[in-house]
Every structure is written in structure tokens, then in C-alpha cells.
């Protein structure tokens, strides 16, 4: 290493930033994350820095900069934008024995600013000694994805409890106790937004001398896998996959999404495959509850969003009846993904101000639903699992007065390698589906514009492939 990474204490100390423009503002934004006293040394400040001073978050020193300006400061940043002036100021800071960073002049830098992942008081700094800042930012993105935004709160709470733990938990039990806090139930509950449950579990374990074995109940997370592409998962979904002991997944969940799970997590396929026996919903309910009762972290991985045609309510009820914690991690639903893939929006002022999510399918043995009861002028209707019912639905829409030329977007296997996006009209939709052999994982987006008058004309409009 040419630079030794370390953290500099800022409490009760000054940080001097020389310059009044955008480069100085960038450094000010960074130091505002600390509790340092910021001194802005410049004859003129741009508007953002003036506001920082007006809010009493920094001191403005408009006098000429001298060595005294830097004396006793924890560090200094020089960002005047003038190479000669910066070099002279660097000499003054060096004379005052103040560690200094000169913006865009690595040869004049005693210190460099890393890429920072801030989960205060947890801070991760990533540096490449100035050789590859783009790589540092990429690594930062990966670390950001792996650390929950609320993780710092757990670390701060643990810091407040350290003395109490030292008093109540025998020394020989403390390491295991803290490992449990940061790796198991307390952390899981904390990052899931259940901080009061996490605090209760920690205090309960402390009251019993650090015995956390009483915490034997696991948890269930209903996780939305999105439409297919792994980079469309939420950060929370990735976290749950990496924490899971066992994952129950559907047919439409892509293999690359499962690869985000930790290697030793058990994977159980519970989806439907044509020609093979399907898992009844009641069996799925029973098995996820049974695994959670073993103290395991269970993920029920569903394509799209669990709350949209995902039968999440039945699994939630089963978990709640068993007294097991359960959470929903939302995912990108097919309608949103299809519209994005088509370069379109689901709502548009003056065209469609209402979005309807519906399906042409029903439970086995039940009559077909009244799919189109909310469809009318000014709506976009997103039809899930409706390809087989398309002729019937088109006929019903035309009977309701929707023009035959109303625009339709067909999204098949959205965001997956074999994605197909087609545009057509209402009248031409059934023949388009047959001609292009569209089946299975498909969403239909049908827009009835506010200003489009009803017509019985049914032009034979060709489909346009857009992706």
C-alpha cells in the first residue's frame, strides 16, 4: 500500500475548505456528514455555501489565507480552481503541519477521499490510491446493495447497550451474544423495519444472561422476484435471499435470481409445470410454516410482486395463525416492467388517468371474473394471465364501446433473454397472439384514451415489434 487507510476523529476539531465554488461545495457536502467545525476560506462563496453558512453549519473566513488558517485543523481541502494558487496554499498548509487534499492534484495530496458507504456509525471507505475511481464507485454500489440502509441504527443501539451487556452477560457468553445480535434474529428484524421486536429480543436475551437460544422461532419473507432480470430486484429482496436458510420458488423465477442467494441455502421448487404434479397451495402454506417453526429463515420467492395475483394473502394468514413473523418484500410487477420495456407509461395526462390491474383467470372451479368492470375511457387495463381469454375479452371491450383501434402493448417474458414486445390494436390482438405463438408469461396493456370515440370499425392493423 502507498496509503494507509484510517479514520480521522473530527469531534471538536476544525476542517478547513479553501475555495468558494463547486469543487469546494463538493468537499463541504462530504464533511457535513461529520461533526467537524467547517471553515470556508474564500473571499466569495457560491449560493450553496452561503446557505450552509446562513444555517450555522459552517464558518466563513473571507480574510486572506495564511499558515495560521490551517494551524490545529484536523485536515484541509484546497479547491480554488487555480493550479498556481492551489500549490501556494498547499505550501502554507504543509508549513502548519496540516494534512491536506488538493482537488485534482494527487501529487499535492497528503490525504485522499475514498468512496464512502455511510451507515453511521458504520462507515465503509473504498479507495484505489487514485488509480481507478470508477472501480471504487462500482465497488461502493455493490457494498451499498449488501448493507441495509437501517443497519447503522442497530450498531448505534448496540453501542448504547455495551455497558449493560458487560454487566448482565457473562464474559464467556458475550462473543456468541454479539454474533447473534448482528447475524441472526435481531439484525433480521431490525433491517425488516421491526426495530421494536429486535430490541425486545436483545433485552430479553440480556435478562437471561445472554441466552438467546430461547429465540427458536424463524421467520417468513414473501419476496417479489420482479419480472425476471436479476438487476430489477430491490435491495431488500437481495438481502432476504442472502439471509435465507431455505427458499421456496415458483416456475417463473429465473435461475440468475436464485444465484443471488447464499450458496448453502436450500432451494425447493413449488411451481407448476405443464404435465407435472403441482404443489397445492395448502401444502405450500403448511411447509413454509413448518420450516419457520424449526427456527429457519424462510423466503417464499414469487415472480413479480407478491401482492399482485401472487396468493400472498393465503400464506400470510397461515403464518399469522401460527404466530410466525412474516413480511412482504415488494417487487416490480409485470405491468410496470412491460411499460418500461416498451418505452411507454401506464398513465398519461389527457389519455389515461386510471390504471386497472386485473386477470382473465379464476380459481379452479370458479366462474370467470368480471375482468373488465372497471375499464372505460381514460384507463389503461393491465391484463395478467389472460392470453387464452383474449378473444372473449376483446369482444367484451368492443361491446362496452372501446374503439377497435385502441392501442395494445403485448409483453411476453418481460426483462428475460427471450423478451418480446409487440404493439397492435384491440381488434388485431387475437390474431397477433396466434400468429406470434404468444402464450404463458404475458401481460396485455390495453389503453382506452379519454378522447378516442367509440367505433365499430375493425381494421386489420399489423403488429409492430418494438423489442
Any idea which residues carry the catalytic annotation? 250, 272
- The sheet with strand 325-329 has its strands ordered as 266-269, 246-249, 297-302, 219-224, 325-329
**Which element (helix H / strand E) includes 159?**
helix 151-168
Q: Residues 6 or more apart from 104 whose CB is under 8 A from it?
A: 23
**How far apart, in Å, are the Cα atoms of 191 and each of 35, 152, 154, 201, 310?**
26, 10, 8, 14, 24
Cα of 438 vs its chain's centroid, Å: 31
Q: What is the residue-wise DSSP string for 110-147?
A: SS-PPEEEEETTEEEEE--TTS-HHHHHHHHHHHHHHS
| 178 half-sphere exposure, CB direction, 13 A CA radius | 15
Specify whether the CB–CB gap between 135 and 108 falls below 8 A: no
Q: Can you tell me which residue has the cell 386510471?
A: 354
- Rg of the chain over Cα atoms, rounded to whole angstroms, equals 29
Residue 124's Cβ-count burial label (10 Å; 0-12, 13-18, 19+) is middle
Strands 122-126 and 115-119: antiparallel
Beta bridge partners of 267: 247
Q: Can you tell me which residue has the cell 453558512?
A: 53
**Which element (helix H / strand E) includes 222?**
strand 219-224
Residue 440's CB is within 10 A of a number of other CB atoms, namely 11
3-state helix, strand, coil in the chain (%, to 5): 35, 20, 45
Amino acid at each position: 500500500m502507498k496509503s494507509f487507510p484510517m479514520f480521522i476523529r473530527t469531534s471538536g476539531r476544525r476542517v478547513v475548505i479553501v475555495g468558494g465554488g463547486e469543487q469546494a461545495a463538493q468537499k463541504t457536502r462530504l464533511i457535513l456528514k461529520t461533526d467537524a467545525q467547517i471553515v470556508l476560506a474564500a473571499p466569495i462563496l457560491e449560493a450553496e455555501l452561503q446557505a450552509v453558512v446562513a444555517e450555522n453549519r459552517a464558518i466563513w473566513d473571507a480574510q486572506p489565507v495564511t499558515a495560521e488558517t490551517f494551524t490545529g485543523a484536523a485536515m484541509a481541502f484546497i479547491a480554488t480552481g487555480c493550479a498556481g494558487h492551489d500549490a501556494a496554499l498547499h505550501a502554507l498548509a504543509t508549513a502548519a503541519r496540516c494534512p491536506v487534499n488538493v482537488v485534482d492534484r494527487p501529487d499535492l495530496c497528503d490525504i485522499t477521499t475514498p468512496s464512502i458507504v455511510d451507515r453511521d456509525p458504520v462507515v465503509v471507505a473504498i479507495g484505489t490510491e487514485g488509480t481507478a475511481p470508477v472501480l471504487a464507485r462500482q465497488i461502493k454500489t455493490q457494498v451499498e446493495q449488501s448493507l441495509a440502509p437501517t443497519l447503522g441504527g442497530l450498531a448505534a443501539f448496540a453501542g448504547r447497550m455495551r455497558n449493560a451487556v458487560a454487566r448482565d452477560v457473562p464474559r464467556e457468553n458475550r462473543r456468541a451474544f454479539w454474533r447473534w445480535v448482528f447475524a441472526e434474529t435481531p439484525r433480521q428484524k431490525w433491517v425488516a423495519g421491526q426495530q421494536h421486536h429486535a430490541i425486545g429480543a436483545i433485552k430479553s436475551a440480556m435478562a437471561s444472561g445472554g441466552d438467546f437460544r430461547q429465540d427458536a422461532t424463524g421467520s417468513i419473507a414473501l419476496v417479489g422476484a420482479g419480472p425476471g432480470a436479476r438487476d430489477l430486484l430491490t435491495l431488500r429482496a437481495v438481502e432476504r435471499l442472502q439471509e435465507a436458510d431455505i427458499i421456496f420458488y415458483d416456475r417463473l423465477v429465473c435461475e440468475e435470481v436464485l444465484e443471488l442467494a447464499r450458496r448453502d441455502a436450500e432451494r425447493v421448487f413449488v411451481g407448476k409445470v405443464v404435465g407435472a404434479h403441482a404443489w397445492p397451495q395448502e401444502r405450500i402454506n403448511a411447509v413454509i410454516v413448518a420450516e419457520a417453526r424449526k427456527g429457519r429463515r424462510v423466503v417464499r420467492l414469487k415472480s413479480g410482486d407478491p401482492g399482485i395475483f401472487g396468493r400472498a394473502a393465503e400464506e400470510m394468514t397461515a403464518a399469522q395463525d401460527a404466530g410466525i413473523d412474516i413480511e412482504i418484500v415488494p417487487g416490480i410487477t409485470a405491468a410496470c416492467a412491460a411499460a418500461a420495456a416498451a418505452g411507454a407509461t401506464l398513465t398519461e395526462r389527457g389519455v389515461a388517468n386510471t390504471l386497472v390491474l386485473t386477470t382473465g383467470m379464476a380459481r379452479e372451479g370458479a366462474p370467470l371474473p368480471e375482468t373488465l368492470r372497471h375499464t372505460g375511457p381514460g384507463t389503461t387495463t393491465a391484463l395478467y394471465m389472460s392470453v387464452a381469454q383474449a378473444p372473449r375479452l376483446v369482444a367484451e371491450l368492443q361491446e362496452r364501446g372501446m374503439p377497435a383501434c385502441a392501442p395494445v402493448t403485448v409483453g411476453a417474458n418481460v426483462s428475460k433473454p427471450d423478451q418480446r414486445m409487440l404493439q397492435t390494436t384491440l381488434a388485431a390482438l387475437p390474431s397477433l397472439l396466434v400468429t406470434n405463438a404468444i402464450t404463458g408469461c404475458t401481460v396485455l396493456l390495453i389503453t382506452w384514451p379519454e378522447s378516442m370515440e367509440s367505433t365499430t370499425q375493425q381494421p386489420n392493423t399489423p403488429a409492430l415489434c418494438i423489442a
